[in-house]
Structure 1
Amino acid sequence: MAHDSTAFIRPVSLPRDRPALDHIFRVTCGESLKTEPSWTISSCHPYPLLSRSTCFVLDPGNGDGAVGYILSTPNTRQFAQDWTEKYVPSLDRKLLPQPDVNGSKAVDDKPTQLLQLLHGDPERALNFSYPGLVDKWPGHLHIDILPSHQGRGWGRKLIDTLMEALRAEGCKGVHLGMEAVGLGALKFYTKLGFSRYPEVLDGGVSGETGRTGGEGPVIYLVKDIPI
């Protein structure tokens, strides 16, 4: 389908784009994140603050700010360190769930579990435990587009724009996680050169590589970036 005549991709701009980034996240995120404090502290805020050179928005060209974004870091290990040292101290401490790094407390709420990890032990939340993932594919990304601009080729254009930016940063590979039920998304990423992370993550239960087990499984995809 042809691209919109006025829309274009540009680097993210703060604070100008913050309201639009929040809106896109809140429209497109999973239902489990559409509660507070998940909305406020697990959204897209850290990426433009910590890794602005690899963050882009889809601007509709009519002054409305942004209708999509692709947010990334070329170095997940450095991002985790910066998250702890630079991002978390900037947050309202009253919004943060108390970290439970040792897993001593049973928490049924999945968003709270994730937030505890993100703000108490980001390395666990950012997939450092998966063999070779952040070493072979050190970058990671998140991409979301409002329904009004989906199916128009902008997803591919955002990915292509990001790949060039990651290459310029010397990033040799990138990974992402997607819900295992998103077969349409899997087809989209496969067409763009992503493949399944080549490790069995659920003990072979699913018979698939790159797929986690348990409730709400995720499929991890990877893509090499020739430097």
Structure 2
Amino acid sequence: MILDFGDGFFLRQATVADHAALAMICLKTGDAGKDATGREDDPDLLGLVYTIPYQVLEPDLAFIVDGPAGACGYLLGAADTNSFNARLVSQWYPDLEARVADPGPDSSRWRGSDWLRHKIHHPDFAVPQALAAYPSHGHIDLLPQARGKGIGRQAMAFLEQRLAASGSTGLCLEVMPQNVHALNFYRTAGFKVLQDVGLPNRCIYVAKQLGFAPGVAG
């Protein structure tokens, strides 16, 4: 146990044995915080893209939230987004590309998880310049049984402390525009919504400065 949240909930390091749990939680929260099971035809694919590679490539910043009924959330981070993305390209995505077929560019013909299969074959790992002051990124998702208990707030504070101790000057996260609950959570946790023409409009970026960086406004 790394952090005790009370009522039988706690944070612990994620291991290889947690890959199935990471995929399950990602699927159950994969539709802007809601259950994506009915949308996806490959229940493992979301996890293989968005959660499991963190445990493999950045294990020191990969954590599971456990509760009385087992795994019910995760907290994931990458200390340096550019470095992490480079490792995804060289060490992770080749096997993913071999696992699934490219559904082609016509999105009108996509079904089920085809949108994700297309993303796997046509990834975009470029980091916008607007995120330069926030070199680290993270992900957190909790199943319903772990929500409303202050777990998210405590977990994010823990990740911020870990990243700051490693020398990171800032943390950013992506939020789907329709996930109003998550946006409110991050605002309450001290994150600001970034506004910049150089940022993609598919998601909203929230960010927080973790340490003093000369010439960078907080």
Task: State the 4+ residue runs in structure 1 displaced beyond 6 angstroms.
Answer: none
- In structure 2, the partner of 1:152 is 149
Give yes or no for contact 2:14–2:59 (8 Å, CA) kept in 1. yes
In structure 2, the gaps of 5 or more residues are 213-218
8 Å CA contact 1:80, 1:122 repeated in 2:
no
CA distance in 2, matches of 1:140, 1:35: 28
Of 31, 41, 61, the residue aligned with 1:35 is 41
**Structure 2 residue matching 1:123: 3-state secondary structure:** coil
Q: What is the TM-score of this pair, normalised by structure 1?
A: 0.76
Q: What is the CA deviation profile of residues 107-166 of structure 1, one whole-angstrom value per residue up to 9, with x for unaligned ones?
A: 344964554444544414xxx2x3331x21111111110101111110001101111111
- Shift in CA distance, 170/187, structure 1 to aligned 2, threshold 3 Å: same
Cross-structure match for 1:137: 134
Q: 1:170-217: per-residue Cα shift (whole Å, max 9, x none)?
A: 21111111121222221210111100113146xxxxxxxx782xxxx4
Structure 1 unaligned regions, length at least 5: 202-209
TM-score by length of 2: 0.79
1:204 is matched with: none
Percent same amino acid at aligned positions?
25
Residue 100 of structure 2 corresponds to 95
Which residue of structure 1 aligns with residue 125 of structure 2? 123
1:75 corresponds in structure 2 to: 80
The structural deviation recorded for 1:96 is 4.7
Q: Aligned residue for 2:173? A: 176
Question: Match for 1:74: what amino acid?
Answer: A
Question: Does 2:55 align with 1:48?
Answer: yes
Q: Which amino acid aligns with 1:107?
A: S
Distance 1:137-1:28 versus aligned 2 partners, 3 A rule: same
Q: Which residue of 2 aligns with 1:163?
A: 160
Matched-pair contact (CA < 8 Å) for 2:27–2:47: no
Instruction: Give 2:71's aligned amino acid.
Output: A
Alignment length (residue pairs) = 200
* SS across alignment from 1:17: helix
Q: Distance in 1 between matches of 2:133 and 2:39?
A: 29
2:95 and 2:61 mapped to 1: Cα distance?
21
From the superposition, tell whether residues 10 and 183 of structure 1 become closer, same or farther in structure 2 (CA, over 3 Å). same
Distance 1:40 1:17, change over 3 A: closer
CA–CA distance in structure 1, aligned partners of residues 204 and 97 of structure 2: 32
Structure 2: how far apart are the matches of 1:191 and 1:167? 19
- Is residue 20–residue 65 contact of structure 1 (8 Å, CA) maintained in 2? no
Do the aligned partners of 1:211 and 1:220 also contact (CA within 8 Å) in 2? no
Aligned partners of 1:93 and 1:65: how far apart in 2?
32
Conserved? CA contact 1:83–1:122, under 8 Å: no
Determine the C-alpha separation between the residues in 2 that align with 1:180 and 1:119.
25
Supply the distance in 2 between the matched residues of 1:66 and 1:8 (Cα, whole angstroms): 10
SS of 2:82's partner is helix
How has the CA–CA distance of structure 1 residues 112 and 79 changed in structure 2, closer, same or farther, with 3 Å as cutoff?
farther
Deviation of 1:35 after TM superposition, in Å, equals 2.6
Deviation of the 1:38 alpha carbon: 3.7
How far residue 40 of structure 1 moved from its aligned partner, in angstroms, is: 5.8
